[in-house]
Structure 1
């Protein structure tokens, strides 16, 4: 898929809302990545993004992603911050602002035979390199958690990084890799729990050790005291293009930030998108054992749970809470429907009211690994919704002002 395809924009405007503001220039494929990270700085002026000059294929080891910062108060001017050779279409390179900082951002890269992370200062232009790649940052800004991205790429192509083979690709459950904690200042890192340890933990009373195991989708609780990740496994290795389409088993795991007090938060096998609501609760799409599929609020280290938005939020999406709304407002999206339209919406929990922000067409060439989910995320003040979309024919970034809807 080349750039500059002739295309008629297709989107449906949300009631009473202006058209979304595009903040990228259509000259390249531009996007941010995942929905659970800070794209916008605390002041609301600068948005992070990445861009590359092709679409419609997997990255090659030599394809570099350009990392940039967009000045939302100066005609959306793009300023380059650096490059990355460790990226994918769904989560880019884990680009994000370091929590609590208005000057430092982080992303993953490849140096020689290692994946690393780079911390850049947008004021001084200085950079420093940490010896491990990051997945999620602690809200206190002190540490990150990570895992082996070459392992992810080996077992779920498109969610890891090409360029470095999995050194344990012949091992079903390596003891050398797993969940790693990284100090953001010193770069000191330690393995908190290995894939081998998790593989030895029975699943619903059954031995699952004779499978191919990996970790995915890591998060840190709001108080930086608990960690959350998905432990996944598949029974056999297949061709990458086949594995990208075939299923696997999932269980959601939590544990203390020192690796203790492990808890299987969702053993159902259906854990999907999730965020922490507060230090004790996880807001997730799943199908709990004996319950209906939907969004659920799970209490950590407990069997307590209750559904959220069961009348309206009836399909899987990328769910977050809108900041500064006392967790009353949820931001969410859908996957493309039969007409390939994606709905972007807000949901008000107290009144069970849905507010549709827009419907955005996803052209047919955007499928599989190089699909473009909206992955909606708010700025840190909860005033604007930023999202990636292909409704104008290429992958670009947009925002909508929601202050009049949520009162931020």
Structure 2
């Protein structure tokens, strides 16, 4: 058995993967005192900075500018009049913070849906509120010109022209930390309303259409552990890589607060609805390609543990487990460009509450941890800090959210170029 020191180990691992493949990796053991890739904190206190979810474009196409949000408090639910600053970090100018705007429609887990507009090298989009409704702002960071779209967004199409969005008022009612406070759900007493669900937004004209209703999805397929008093809602939406379909979690909440979920896909007009995973146990997901989805689920409803599964985009797709016992089964998944690596993380583990973002090499089945990040116990529930790892377009960097010493949540930049062989 070969034992490798930390720095040469990484170089050697990269060499083996690129030249000999997975067979050459058999029998290699790594010491506990591994040296993690270079990491630096790119935001500073006293204000707190974070980005939010893992499936949004945080880096601009050049991988120079990193989006983030700034707030003056932590450890409580946001109120409707709490305003956060929206900005970006210039990695080539001493991590300078550049303020871009502000928002009063945000939450701790996903911020204000701030993201670079796909297909543009200079435009960003985020959610806000204006005159009694949620809206979205589009800003050109080079020219300073902006405009308002009269609807919020969740996921944006690869060409940057269309968005899909759930009803954030309903989400706020059933899952604080993912909706926006301030506007009560007008369908609060309706368990599966016909005029609430998923909306398609034309980002050029502002036209908004309801394409998939909660009433419709509540009558589609079989609802595991069906009860008459369950409350339906949608959360977590994502366009397919080619923009032809979208994915969402159809969730239902029981009177005791517990919830189950199904993984659902559909065309952009709401047609061809497919319940891909219907066992009630499904969580984080990412598209691998237009026809396949990597998701966390249970092999069967009675399985004692969760896993990461690749499934085809079809009704009642067959689950194929990936990285069993290696790839964390509770983290936030994404594929690096080229699909050779999966980026993931963990929730706080052990008495030290350590979170571990990591890379998983698909061909070899090997995992490389990118660091250990302590999350103090005060970061729990709605205002917890999941690392939600996001990668740069050039695949050189990973950015995470994590508390930093006594400065609260901040953005941390991890240089992974030495791992995946980028220069």
> So what's the TM-score if we normalise by structure 1?
0.91
- Measure the CA separation in 1 of the matches of 2:38 and 2:64: 20
Cα deviation code 1:257-303 (max 9, x no counterpart): 12111100111111111110000000111113266620000100152
Cα 1:185–1:208 shift into 2, 3 Å? farther
For 1:263, the equivalent position in structure 2 comes to 274
Report the secondary structure of 1:252's partner residue.
strand
Deviation at 1:343, TM superposition (A): 1.0
Select which of 352, 355, 364 maps to 1:351: 364
Distance 2:78 2:324 in 1: 38
Shift of the alpha carbon at 1:65?
A: 0.8
Task: Tell whether the 8 Å contact from 2:136 to 2:149 is kept in structure 1 after alignment.
Answer: yes
In 2, the alpha carbon distance for the partners of 1:299 and 1:345 equals 25
Residue 201 of structure 1 and its aligned partner are, at CA, apart by 2.4
Query: How far 1:208 moved relative to its partner?
Result: 5.2
The answer to whether the Cα contact below 8 Å between 1:202 and 1:208 also exists between their aligned partners in 2 is no
Cα contact 2:224–2:280 (8 A) shared by 1:
no
Q: Distance in 1 between matches of 2:224 and 2:367?
A: 40
Aligned pairs (5 A) from 1:39-118: 39-118=58-137
Which of 386, 393, 397 aligns to 2:399? It is 386
SS in 2 for 1:358: coil
Picking from 208, 214, 237, the partner of 1:195 is 214
- Structure 1 unmatched ranges of 5 or more: 1-12, 239-245
Q: Distance in 2 between matches of 1:310 and 1:126?
A: 48
Give 1:364's aligned residue. Answer: 377
Of residues 200-209 and 115-124 in structure 1, the stretch that sits farther from structure 2 once superposed is 200-209
Q: Is the 8 A contact 2:328 2:345 kept in 1?
A: no
Name the counterpart of 1:253: 264
* Structure 1 residue 180, shift from structure 2 partner: 0.6
- Residues 117 and 129, structure 1, Cα contact 8 Å, conserved in 2: yes
Work out whether 1:224 is the aligned partner of 2:243.
yes
- Does residue 281 (structure 1) correspond to residue 279 (structure 2)? The answer is no
Larger radius of gyration: 2
* Mapped contact 1:200–1:207 kept (Cα < 8 A): no
Q: Deviations over 1:343-379 (max 9, x none)?
A: 1111101111111111110011111111101000101
State the superposition RMSD in angstroms: 1.7
- Are the aligned partners of 2:224 and 2:278 in contact in 1 as well (CA < 8 Å)? no
- C-alpha separation between the residues in 2 aligned to 1:205 and 1:405? 42
- 1:398 aligns with 412
Cα separation, partners in 2 of 1:71 and 1:267, compared to 1, 3 Å: same
Q: How does 1:319-338 map to 2 (within 5 A)?
A: 319-323=333-337, 326-338=338-350
CA distance, structure 1, for counterparts of residue 258 and residue 403 of structure 2: 26
TM-score by length of 2: 0.88
> Superposition pairs for residues 200-219 of structure 1, below 5 Å?
200-204=219-223, 210-219=229-238
Aligned equivalents of 1:308, 1:374: Cα separation in 2: 21
Indicate yes or no: 2:322 matched with 1:311. no
1:363–1:391 Cα contact (<8 Å) kept: no
Cα offset, 1:206, TM superposition: 7.0
Tell me the distance in 2 between the aligned counterparts of 1:379 and 1:399: 10
Contact 2:214–2:232 (8 Å) recurs in 1: yes
Offset, 1:210: 4.0
Q: 1:125 to 1:354 in 2, by over 3 A?
A: same
Once structures 1 and 2 are overlaid, which stretch shifts more, 46-55 or 210-219? 210-219
Q: 1:205 to 1:24 in 2, by over 3 A?
A: closer
Contact 1:218 1:229 in 2 (8 A): yes
Partner of 1:294: 307
**Partner SS for 1:197:** helix
Aligned partners of 2:151, 2:70: CA distance in 1, in Å? 23
How many aligned positions are there? Answer: 386
Q: Given that residues 14 and 357 in structure 1 are in contact (C-alpha distance below 8 angstroms), is that contact kept between their aligned partners in structure 2? A: no
Q: Is the 8 A contact 1:200 1:209 kept in 2?
A: no
- Aligned twin of 2:154: 135
> Cα gap change, 1:205/1:97 in structure 2, threshold over 3 Å: closer, same or farther?
closer
SS at match of 1:317: coil
**Structure 2: 5+ residue runs without aligned partners?**
1-31
CA distance in 1, matches of 2:319, 2:381: 32
For residues 285 and 315 of structure 1, what CA distance do their matches in structure 2 show? 6
